[in-house]
Amino acid sequence: MMSSLLVALVVALPLLGFLINGLAGKWLKRERLIGTLGSGAVGGSFVISLLIFLDLLQRPPESRTIVVTLYEWIASGSFTAPVAYQIDQLSTVMMLVVTGVGFLIHVYAIGYMHGDHGYWRFFAYLNLFIFAMLNLVMADNFLLLFLGWEGVGLCSYLLIGFWYDRKFDKGTTGDAAKKAFVVNRIGDFGFLIGIFLIVATFGSVRFEEVFTQAAGLAVGTPVMLWITLALFVGATGKSAQIPLFVWLPDAMAGPTPVSALIHAATMVTAGVYMVARCSLLYALAPTALLVVAVIGAATAIFAATIGLVQNDIKKILAYSTISQLGYMFLALGVGAFTAGMFHVVTHAFFKALLFLGSGAVIHAMHEEQDIQKMGALKHHLPTTYRTFVVGALAIAGIPPLSGFFSKDEILWKAFSSGAWTLWLLALVGAGLTAFYMFRLVYLTFEGRPRWHGNVHPHEAPPVMTVPLILLAALAAIAGLLGIPPSLGGGNAFEHWLEPVFARAHRTLALAPHVAEPIEYLLMALSVAVALAGIWGARVLYVRRTELPERIRQRFAFAYRVLFNKYYVDEAYEAAVVSPVVRGSERLLWKKIDVGLIDRLVNGTASLFGAISRTIRVVQTGVAQTYLFVFLLGVVATLAWLLAG
Amino acid sequence: MNSEMDTAILSIILALPLAGALLVLLLPQGATRTIKLVGLAASLLSFIVSVRLFLLFDETLPGMQFVEKVTWIASLDISYHLGIDGIALLLVVLTTFLTPIALLASWDSIRSQLKGYVALMLLLEVGTLGVFVSLDMFLFYVFWEFMLIPMYFIIGIWGGGERIYAAVKFFLYTMAGSLLMLVAIIWLAYYASTQPGGNFTTNLLTLYAVAPSVPAQLQVWMFLAFTLSFAIKVPLFPLHTWLPDAHVQAPTAGSVILAGILLKMGTYGLVRFCLPLFPQATVTFLPYIALLAVVGIIYGALVSMVQPDLKKLVAYSSVSHLGFVVLGIFALNPEAMQGSVIQMVSHGLSTGALFLLVGMIYDRRHTRLIKDYGGLARTMPAFAAFFMIVALSSAGLPGLNGFVGEFLILLGSFNSTYLGTPAFAIAGALGVILAAVYLLWGYQRVFFGKVDHPENKALTDLTPREWAVLVPVVVFIVWIGVYPKTFLGKSELASRHVIQQFEQARRALPMVSSSPQSVSHPPAAR
Amino acid sequence: MSIPLIHYLALSALLFVIGVAGVLTRRNAIVVFMCIELMLNAVNLSLVAFSASLGDITGQALVFFVMAVAAAEAAVGLGIVIALFRNKQTVNIDEINILKW
């Protein structure tokens, strides 16, 4: 029997971990203790989430929604928002992913952060992050979701800037952290507008109340377009889509477990979750869905092209994440909400795996992150190598690994909904994905060592490799959850989530997934494209390693553009950041505030001084002047008396 | 404490700091420890009594509670008339809370003429409390002017380099506005005497009934006179330029009280007087004031961003935050009003805490310039942690106090029938982005990075006294953020009552010189 | 044959104006006092003229008051001039200008 205590405990355990490690961590000293506390809190949440999930599993599909209200948070006038959690099929999926993958990453971090003087701070922040993320995915209303939304942004800031006195790229880690927070905030601005519109339209922020009312609206109602677009602006910020993706590559300044947890598996999928949760609202605004799909596909290929030429191992993975998130949004945009969520799950597994693997490599290479200085590491880091390849195959979409099923589902749904251009973009992107991933694999692990004597790479300790192995296993077999009917499976994942998206699907009037011959063709096509990508990488980076340099010289301009990320950061800096900062300083502060307004104020004061100086002339000190004025006064009075 | 003393509880809260001030003045100048302890004790006692007041306050009743009335000048019907509703209650508790904190914060930093300092701080507390609890307009004016004098001296004697200029500017600027308010008060009281059956009175409750019948032309002038005075205090753009100077030059505790409490007197005045007394004029000027508020939000944030002086950065952020409050007030619906009320309290706590923190670092290094710092997270980690929490609360992070107020204000403004357009709320929401920018950038330059200046390497982290100053504030910051109901509940009925009063007053007026539509289609109550 | 009243008044006014002009323009303090005496005597003249013309003795009685006041004022004024001279070594009014801000 479900009790609200259990639900509250899921959220409370990480909070408790944060408080203990945050307040007392400095005196606990023992790394094992701190790490166990932190991981244990998340692990406990995972176990309870599992229990909740199993409980739901036993119920009939119609009654798999539980709402647990803790207390009334903000209430004023006619507005009220509670701290309440809605446990249903969608939130349990996210809960399991967040706490499960989160637990593995916590364990990994016990080893990775060994020796860091901020060890206790790290685990405190990580626990706080899990707390915020759980609030986000478990909330039953938009306001609590927003609390989680901003909370994960905060933790992202704290963790990106964790090593606060280090340099990063052309600036510092602090710059990267600030960029992440500010760009996220721009997205949050859109989210807030969305919430205001929702309150204005539906009078409530609770999901159930909003969605029940929305079900009665007609498709294409104008206000729905604004709401969904505003919310989507928030999603582009949090999930790093065009145009607000620029913070994610910089977020690589943080320690690798952070990149794995926050910037791959969980926080960045918050936008996807949110759009999925609001599936009905988006179904009512077909234009918004189109926007979502187009931006998703565009981002997918855009980021993939940048990832082709990057040399920092984490940057490649960062752009890969942006690209894969694009796929998820593409899925949502064509109405394939389940496919999008499925990709969230599989991506969490293999991307976390890839990031953690890269962390092991970076550690082994003594903080070196440039893949051009690596090579032949498969002999020194066998477990890392093998798990990494599993992850790479998964992301490339090679069956029977999980990435194939989720990505293929997306491609098929895109195609079958008629969005052929988007499908084509996504297909090309898939090829590019396979290519750059295996470029990464080959340059890092294969070939000859391009590093020098005093680097002695060795395999990571078990506390780090065991999570890798577990994640690899998950990345491999998670596909079983979503085997489509065309391949004989019942797509358990889709069935599980179906009730959540039922209303949206009805509104969209989509045809159910029926196996068609074309589907097999497309499946084969996507596998072929992936294999082509892998083979291309093999040719360029293993067999004929002189080719990349020649291609680079032949297409120098294109290479420069891609390497410099299409100069987007520079464009934003010139068009937005610089004018605002310089304008504020020179114009607003110096010219207007000090020069104009304050001068008016001081001018008024000096005006009185001037008047005073003028009138003071009358006071000559000579008695005769006074007498003269006296005489004038007498004459004036007499004249007035005689006249009137 | 028995119920007889409870009826005079407001006078007790006023009297305690006054008694403390007098006692301090009697002590010899050399007894610094005793002086400080007496001051702290008086303000703490006042706080404890105000907590009792908070607990006794009945949040299910609208209207004034704990009313006391003693006739003062009978021929003009001026009386010593006190009373509070939910809004005033929160501000009273804020005042009595911040004063002991401010005194504790200046424990070691005031060396000369300590006696005068403590006495003036206590008198300042009396003045500000009096403003919040007065129900007689004349009495209100007396307290309003009364708080100018201690503040002037505090800035002028114990302030920074340019203190004389800042103190005189503050004094004259504020007084200029409030003189016009005096004219309006007298005018209004006189108007009451011209009404059938009425007489010259400054009793606010009577005037609530009388004022809405003031002819529209006249009402406009009265409204402007009152609003000008309050707008200078808030401060509303473009009347804000006294604030950066006053804040920067004042000693730490002075800045805390100035930002934490004095600025709220302006917004309180708008709520208590302008809205219920002059509803027609309010509606007429509403779009302009809302525009100025929004401009203040964005302008304050942008100018704050580029300040090299940390204290000035915080000062301009006050302009930005109070822009939100004014926007919420003039959105004229209960949600936004509640947002403004809680934002008044939140701002007092957050910005007060920021000034406390800046003061702590100034005590150590005697410089407020950001470029003199850097990497402080390494040498002063506890300080950095507190600063981060407070900065985030100022930036409106959900879960901390700033978010509750900002959200309710923007929500109310977005859906406000009087504002008529969501544009104000949307522009105001931009302030949310900018707040993150100026606070985090400032934080980064002070705390992150390497410790470049050798003087910063030897800095000591927080002392126990500094912990004692910061922890209570942070407790409330989190409390209001996580469970605001404790506070919102007290002021809920009062906020609704203000709006109802406003709408009733608006409809009571028979014919208006402004557009006829405004009478025939009164907005639907939310 | 009596002189018409208007002639007395005209003379009185003339003397008064001369007195005023003198007070306002002369630099020597003693001369200013003499002009003040002139003004007072001009008033005396017009008082006596009215008294004779209207047959009312009050005017002449008032003249005695004015003479007494004039004498007292002259005494005090000259005392002040002497005190001033002791301090400033001058009776030039233009140089005695400290009665100001």
CA pair distance B521, B502, nearest whole angstrom: 15
Q: Each residue of A65-112: pLDDT tens digit?
A: 889 999 999 988 889 999 999 999 999 999 999 999 999 999 999 999
Helix orientation angle between A222-238 and A173-202, rounded to the nearest 10 degrees: 160
Q: Is the pLDDT of residue B197 over 80?
A: no
d(CA A232, CA A241): 10
Tell me if A624 and C32 make a contact (CB, 8 A cut-off): yes
Peptide bond before residue A400 is cis, with ω within 30 degrees of 0: yes
pLDDT of residue A514: 60
Burial class of residue B136 (count of CB atoms within 10 Å of its CB; 0-12, 13-18, 19+): buried
Quote the pLDDT of residue A334: 92
- CATH fold for domain C5-93: Helix Hairpins (1.10.287)
- Report which of A255, A10, A313 is spatially closest to residue A110, judged by C-alpha positions: A255
Residue B116 contacts residue B240 (beta carbons within 8 Å): no
Residues B448, A164: C-beta atoms closer than 8 Å: yes
- Which residue from B minimizes the CA distance to A73? B483
The reply to whether C96 touches chain A by the CB within 8 Å rule is yes
Summarised one tens digit per residue, pLDDT across range B439-463 is: 999 999 999 988 888 888 888 889 9
User: Using CB atoms and an 8 Å cut-off, which of residues 25-44 of chain C contact chain A?
Assistant: 25, 32
pLDDT by residue (tens digit) across A212-239?
Answer: 999 888 888 899 999 999 999 999 999 9
Note whether A78 contacts B334, CB cutoff 8 Å.
Answer: yes
What DSSP character marks residue A313? H
CA atoms within 13 A on the CB side of B448: 26
Model pLDDT, residue C101? 65
For the entire predicted model, the pTM comes to: 0.89
Q: Kindly identify which residue of chain C lies nearest to residue A619, measuring between CA atoms.
A: C100
* Residues of A (555-584) whose Cβ lies below 8 Å from B: 580-581, 583-584
Question: Can you list the pairs that B54-59 forms with residues at least 24 positions away whose Cβ atoms lie under 8 Å?
Answer: B54/B89, B54/B93, B54/B490, B56/B6, B56/B9, B57/B84, B57/B86, B57/B89, B57/B490, B59/B86, B59/B489, B59/B490, B59/B492, B59/B493
CB of A589 within 8 Å of a chain B CB? The answer is: yes
Q: What is the mean pLDDT of residues B291-296?
A: 94
A621 touches chain C (CB under 8 A): yes
For B387-412, what is the mean pLDDT?
94
Backbone angles phi, psi at A239, to 5 degrees: -100, 20
Task: Provide the pairing of β-strand B78-84 with A66-76.
Answer: unpaired
Rg, C-alpha atoms of chain A: 31
Q: What is the mean pLDDT of residues C76-97?
A: 88
Q: How far is B14 from chain A (nearest CA, A)?
A: 30
d(CA B241, CA A238): 38
**B positions 431-470 inside 8 Å of A (CB):** 432-433, 436-437, 440-441, 444, 447-451
Report the range of poorest mean pLDDT among A441-455, B353-367, B383-397: A441-455
CA distance A470 to A349: 9
First to last CA, chain C: 58
With CB atoms and an 8 Å threshold, state whether C24 touches A619: no
Beta bridge partners of A172: A167
Q: Which amino acid is at A553?
A: Q
| Neighbours, chain B (3 or more CB pairs < 8 A) | A
Chain B touched by A78 (CB under 8 Å): yes
Please report the DSSP string for B454-504 in residue order.
HHHHT-----HHHHHHHHHHHHHHHHHHH-THHHHHHHHHHHHHHHHHHHH
Q: Do A181 and B440 touch (CB under 8 A)?
A: yes
Determine the length of chain C.
101
Determine the Cα–Cα distance for residues B207 and B192; give it in Å rounded to an integer: 7
Q: Which residues of A touch B438 (CB under 8 A)?
A: none
Q: Is the dihedral of CA A498, A503, A508, A509 positive or negative?
A: positive
Q: Which of C23, C93, C101 sits opposite A622 (nearest CB)?
A: C93
**Residue C32 with chain A: CB contacts under 8 Å:** 624
Tell me the domain boundaries of chain A.
Answer: 1-140, 141-563, 569-643
- Residues from chain A that touch C94, judged by Cβ atoms under 8 A, are 622
Alpha helices (H) in A161-263, listed in sequence order: 173-202, 207-214, 222-238, 247-250, 256-260
* A621 closest CB neighbour out of C20, C23, C97: C97
The H-or-E segment that residue C59 falls in is: helix C58-88
C-alpha distance from residue A402 to each of A265, A268, A399, A426, A434 (Å): 15, 20, 7, 18, 14
Residue type at A168 in one-letter notation: F
Stretch among A132-146, A350-364, B506-520, C4-18 having the lowest mean pLDDT: B506-520
Sequence length of chain B is 526
CA separation for the pair A620, A622 (Å, rounded) = 5
Angstrom distances, CA of residue B83 to CA of B135, B501, B520: 6, 17, 35
> How many angstroms separate the CA atoms of A391 and B163, rounded?
65
Query: Which site among A613, A624, A635 would you substitute to test the C interface, given the most C Cβ atoms closer than 10 Å to its Cβ?
Result: A624
**Which amino acid does the sequence have at B170?**
F
| Model pLDDT for residues B469-478, shown as the tens digit of each residue | 999 999 999 9
Asked if residue A584 lies in contact with residue B305, where contact means CB atoms within 8 angstroms, the answer is yes
Q: pLDDT band at residue B512, thresholds of 50, 70 and 90? A: very low
Whether the CB of A528 is below 8 Å from some CB of chain C: the reply is: no
Instruction: Flag if C96 and A621 touch (Cβ within 8 Å).
Output: yes
Which one has a higher pLDDT value, A611 or A625? A611
CB contact set of A571 (below 8 Å; sequence gap of 6+): none
Give the chains touching A; criterion: ≥3 Cβ pairs < 8 Å: B, C
Around Cβ A635, how many Cβ atoms within 10 Å? 10
pLDDT of residue B391: 95
Cα-trace Rg, chain C: 17
Chains C and A touch (3+ CB pairs under 8 A): yes
Q: How many Cα atoms within 13 Å fall on the side-chain side of residue A592?
A: 16
**DSSP run (H or E) holding B69:** strand B65-73
Q: How does pLDDT run across B120-164, given as a tens digit for each residue?
A: 999 999 999 999 999 999 999 999 999 999 999 999 999 888 999
Rounded CA gap, C44 and C64, in Å?
9
Site of tokens 């008695």: A623
Per the structure block, which two tokens stand in for A483?
Answer: 């085997």
Cβ(B307)–Cβ(B363) below 8 Å: no
Separation in Å, CA of A617 to nearest CA in chain C: 10
Closest-CA distance of chain A to residue C32, Å: 9
Task: Read off the amino acid at residue B515.
Answer: S
Residue A479 CA to residue A490 CA, distance in Å, equals 12
* A23-26 own/partner pairs: CB under 8 Å, 24+ apart: A25/A119, A25/A120, A25/A121, A25/A123, A25/A124, A26/A120
Q: Is residue B263 scored above 80 in pLDDT?
A: yes
Residue A504 confidence (pLDDT):
87
Q: Scanning the structure block, which residue is given the tokens 């994610």? A: A248
| Chain B meets chain A (3+ C-beta pairs below 8 A) | yes
Residue B374, Ramachandran bin (φ over 0: left; ψ between -120 and 50: alpha; else beta): left
Instruction: Return the amino acid letter for C22.
Output: G
Q: What is the pLDDT of residue B2?
A: 60
Residue C66 pLDDT exceeds 60: yes
Query: Which SS3 state, helix, strand or coil, does residue A87 take?
Result: strand
* Pairwise CB contact (< 8 Å): A616 & C101: yes
Query: CA-to-CA distance for B501 and B457, rounded, in angstroms?
Result: 58
Could you tell me how far CA A487 lies from the centroid of its own chain? 33
Integer Cα distance of A390 and A384 in angstroms: 10
- Which tokens is A66 given? 């539980």
Q: Are the Cβ atoms of C101 and A624 closer than 8 angstroms?
A: no
ipTM of the complex model: 0.91
- Whether the CB-CB separation of A628 and C24 falls below 8 Å is answered with yes
Cα gap A356→A374, rounded to integer Å: 17
> Which partners does chain C have (≥3 C-beta pairs < 8 Å)?
A
For residue A612, what is the nearest residue in chain C, using CA coordinates? C101
CA of C39 to nearest chain A CA: how many angstroms apart?
Answer: 13
Mutate to test the interface with B, among A21, A69, A72, A74 (most CBs of B within 10 A): A74
List, for residues A445-498, the tens digit of each pLDDT value.
Answer: 988 888 877 778 888 899 999 999 999 999 988 888 888 777 777 788 888 888
Q: Which of B236, B244, B237 is nearest to B307 (CA)?
A: B244
* pLDDT given at position A527: 92
Of B306, B337, B378, the CB nearest to A589: B306
Share of chain A above pLDDT 90, in %: 55
Among positive and negative, which fits the CA dihedral A38, A41, A45, A50?
positive
Specify the 3-state DSSP secondary structure of A360.
Answer: helix
Interchain proximity A185–B436, CB inside 8 Å:
yes
**Burial status of residue A240 (CB atoms within 10 A of its CB: 0-12, 13-18, 19 or more):** buried
Q: Residue C100: its chain A contacts at CB < 8 A?
A: 619-621
Q: What does the pLDDT average to over C53-68? A: 94
At A68 the three-state DSSP class reads strand
Do the Cβ atoms of A217 and A224 come closer than 8 Å?
A: yes
d(CA A279, CA A297): 18
Q: Are B301 and B271 spatial neighbours (Cβ–Cβ below 8 Å)?
A: no
Inter-residue contact B504 to B523 (CB < 8 Å): no
> Looking only at Cα atoms, what is the longest distance across chain C?
58
Q: Where on the phi/psi map is residue C96: left (φ > 0), alpha (ψ -120 to 50), or beta?
A: beta
Q: Which residues contact A289 (CB under 8 A, 6 or more apart)?
A: A228, A282, A283, A332, A333, A334, A335
B120's tokens = 């003036």
Give the pLDDT of residue A2. Answer: 59
**Structure-token pair, residue A320:** 């890969």
